[in-house]
Amino acid sequence: MLLRQAHFTTITVVCIPIIFAIFVFVSYFHDGTLNVIPSHLSLRPSHDEKPASQNDPSHSTSAPSTNATPAEKPHTNIENEEEPPQNVNSPAAPSTPSTIDQKVFPQNDWLPARPIDPSCAHLPDLSKVLLIIKTGASETYDRLPTQFMTMARCLPDFLVFSDMEESIMGYRVYDILGDTLKEVKDGNSDFNLWRRQQECLVDQKSCQKWSNVGTEAWNLDKYKNVRQSDVTYTMRPHYDWYIHIDADTYIHWPNMIDMLKPFDPKKDYFFGSFEPSQYGDFNHGGSGYILSQSAMQKFHANSSVEHFDHEARNICCGDMLMTIAVRENIGLANTNMFPTINGRKPFTLPFGPRQWCQPIATLHKLNSEEVGSIWQYEQERFVNATDGKPAPLLIKDLYYKYFAPRLTDKLEDWDNMYDDYLNNVWYYIDYDDKSKDWEHFHDQKYVWHRRKPKDHKHDEEKNAHKSFENCKKACDVVDECLQFRWQDDACAMSKNFRLGNPMEHKDGKERWTSGWAVKKIEKWIADQGECQVKFPEA
Ligand SMILES: *[C@@H]1O[C@H](CO)[C@@H](O)[C@H](O)[C@H]1NC(C)=O
Ligand SMILES: *[C@@H]1O[C@H](CO)[C@@H](O)[C@H](O)[C@H]1NC(C)=O
C-alpha cells in the first residue's frame, strides 16, 4: 500500500511537470518561432502575414472574382474552407454508380486551403476560365496529383470527369458515365471496365492488372465528351471560357489567356487543333479544345446527350463526336488554333517552318515527369525575368530547353522520324528488293510517310537505303534534309527536326539509328532571326 502510494507520488511529482514542459515546448515551436515548414509551403495561410499578392484578387485564397451574378455562390473549389470534410471516403459510400445530381452540385469534397502561393504570382487572372479535365480511373493517380501540384495549382476552380466516382487528395472526380443511357451500357462490352472498376474492393491497379486496361479505357472514353460539356454548363454556367483537356495535357496559362483575349466570349467559338477525319477536321481532345460562354450555353440548351450516347457506339473517338455534336446541335464550326494549341510534347515536337515562332499554350501526352519538368522551367523563366513578366513562351524556347542540349549527329536505338505533316518525311528504299513488302512498309499506318522519290537529283540518293552512312551522305547533299534515320534497308529524311524516342535494341540492320544534320539545323535556326510573336487568329 505504501509502495503504491509512493509510486503515485512519483508519477504526480515527476511526470506531470515533464508533460507540461513538453506541452510548453511544443506550443512554443508551433507558434512559428522555429517553424520548420516554410510559410509558403504550409497548407493554410498564416493570418499575421500579408503576402505580396494579397491585393490581387485573382491570387488570393479567398473567393476569386468570378463573373457570377451576386446571387450566385462564387465558383471556387475552396469555398468549403471553413466546413468539415464531407465524408471523403465514407465506407458507406454506395457501390452502385452515383449519378451526378442534376439539382445539387456539391463542390469538390474538401480541399486544403491554397496557400498564397508565390508560384502563382506571375499568372494572369484565371477566374474567368473553367478547366475541365477528362480522365479515367485507370490513370487518375498516375496523372492528377502532379497536375494538382503544377498546372492546376493556381486555378480557383476546375472540374474532373472520369469513369468512376473518386475523391483524389480531396478533389472530387465525377463519374460522367453514371448517367449514360442504360440501354447503351447494357450488354455493351465498351462498359466492361466501367463495371469492373466499381466492383473493385481494393486499389484499381490491383484489380485490373490482368486486363488490357489501356484499350478498355480508350473504348470507354468516347462516351464522355458530349455529356461532360453538357453537365459542366449546368454546374458552372458563368464562365467566359470552358477549356477541355485530358489528364496528360499541359496548359501554359499566360499564353492561353493571351490567346483568348481578342475574342468575345458572348460570341460562339469552338477553338482547338485540327485533326483530319472522314467527318472533316475535328478538334483534337488531347490538344485541348475551348468553348466560349455563348457556345456552351447554346450547346447545353440544345444538347441531345441521349442521341450522342447512341452515336458514340459507332465512332472511334469522343473528340470527333464532340465536334460533330457542336456542329449539328448549334451549327458552329470548329476553329484551328494550331500550333499554339498543340498535341505534341517538347521531346517529340517537330521543329521547323510550321512550328518555331508561335507561342505555345498547350502540350499533350506528357507523363508526370514531363509535366513537372515544364512547370519547373516555367517557374524558372519567371524568376529570371527582371520585371516578373517573361516574354511569351514560344515553341523555339522548347527547342532550346529540351532539344538543343541533346542535339548530336547520331543516336543508336533511337527513332527521330514521326512527323505530323504531309510531305515532310520521305523514304529511300530499294524498289527492286523483292524480299520486302514495301506496300506494307513499317510506317504504313501513316500513309503520307510512304513517298518514295524515284527521280533522284543526286547520285547519293540512289544508294541512301544501303546503310546509315549512305543515308547520311544523301542527307548531306539534299538541301532540305535536316534529319534522317536508317533502319531495315530504308533511309528516311525530314525537313523538320525533333529529338524523338529511344527504341528497343535490335541487332544488325534491324537497329534503329537516327542522325541529325547539325550544321544545317544551326544554319536554319540562325536564318530565322528574331521571332515576331503572333497568336493564331480565328
Ligand atoms: C437545336 O437543334 C435543333 C435540331 O437539331 C435545330 O433545329 C435548332 O436550330 C437548334 N437550336 C439552336 C439554338 O441552335
Ligand atoms: C535563369 O538564369 C540562370 C542564371 O543566369 C540560368 O542559368 C538559367 O538557364 C535561366 N533559366 C531560364 C529558364 O531562363
Do the Cβ atoms of 140 and 166 come closer than 8 Å?
A: yes
C-alpha cell at 234: 449546368
Protein residue with its CA nearest to atom 6 in ligand 1: 329
Do 313 and 285 reside in the same domain of the chain?
yes
H/E segment holding residue 369: helix 368-384
Q: Say if residue 118 is preceded by a cis peptide, omega within 30 of 0.
A: no
Between CA 405 and CA 382 the distance in angstroms is 21
Do 119 and 8 reside in the same domain of the chain?
no
Residue 168 pLDDT more than 60?
Answer: yes
Do 225 and 348 reside in the same domain of the chain?
yes
Number of domains the chain is built from: 3
Residue 515: exposed, middle, or buried by beta-carbon count in 10 A (0-12, 13-18, 19+)?
Answer: buried
Structural domain ending residue among the three candidates 353, 383, 407: 407
For residue 385, the ligand closest to its alpha carbon is 2
Between CA 30 and CA 173 the distance in angstroms is 34
Structural domain ending residue among the three candidates 363, 386, 407: 407
Do 420 and 403 reside in the same domain of the chain?
no
Question: Binning pLDDT at 50, 70 and 90, where does residue 51 land?
Answer: very low
Do 230 and 168 reside in the same domain of the chain?
yes
**0.75 cut: is pTM over it?**
yes
Protein residue with its CA nearest to atom 12 in ligand 1: 330
CATH code (residue 239):
3.90.550.50
pLDDT digits 0-9 by tens, 209-244: 999 999 999 999 999 999 999 999 999 999 999 999
On whether residue 180 sits in a domain, the answer given is yes
Q: Half-sphere exposure of 375 toward its Cβ, with a 13 Å CA cutoff?
A: 21
460 vs 118, higher pLDDT: 460
pLDDT value for 75: 35
Phi/psi at 346 (5° precision): -50, -40
Do the Cβ atoms of 162 and 135 come closer than 8 Å?
A: yes
Do the Cβ atoms of 113 and 81 come closer than 8 Å?
A: yes
On whether residue 521 sits in a domain, the answer given is no
Do 105 and 80 reside in the same domain of the chain?
yes
pLDDT digits 0-9 by tens, 417-448: 877 666 688 888 888 888 887 777 655 545 55
Q: Are β-strands 410-412 and 171-175 bridged in parallel, bridged antiparallel, or unpaired?
A: unpaired
Protein residue with its CA nearest to atom 6 in ligand 2: 384
On whether residue 69 sits in a domain, the answer given is yes
Do 63 and 104 reside in the same domain of the chain?
yes
Ligand 2 atom closest to Cα of 384? 1
Do 172 and 273 reside in the same domain of the chain?
yes
- The mean of the pLDDT values for the chain is 82
Domain span at residue 474?
410-516
Do 293 and 415 reside in the same domain of the chain?
no
Longest Cα–Cα distance of the chain, Å, equals: 111
Which of these ranges, 2-6, 89-93, 126-130, 342-346, has the smallest mean pLDDT? 89-93
Protein residue with its CA nearest to atom 4 in ligand 1: 329
pLDDT digits 0-9 by tens, 241-288: 999 999 999 999 999 999 999 999 999 999 999 999 999 999 999 999
29 vs 492, higher pLDDT: 492
Beta bridge partners of 159: 132
Do 218 and 94 reside in the same domain of the chain?
yes
Question: Binning pLDDT at 50, 70 and 90, where does residue 122 land?
Answer: confident
Helix (H, G, I), strand (E, B) or coil at 403: helix
Beta bridge partners of 275: 282
CA of 42 from ligand 2 middle (Å) equals: 27
Do the Cβ atoms of 167 and 173 come closer than 8 Å?
A: yes
Between CA 229 and CA 179 the distance in angstroms is 13
On whether residue 524 sits in a domain, the answer given is no
pLDDT value for 100: 52
On whether residue 210 sits in a domain, the answer given is yes
On whether residue 526 sits in a domain, the answer given is no
On whether residue 170 sits in a domain, the answer given is yes
Do 229 and 246 reside in the same domain of the chain?
yes
- If you ran DSSP here, which 8-state letter would residue 30 be given? I
Do 245 and 260 reside in the same domain of the chain?
yes
On whether residue 179 sits in a domain, the answer given is yes
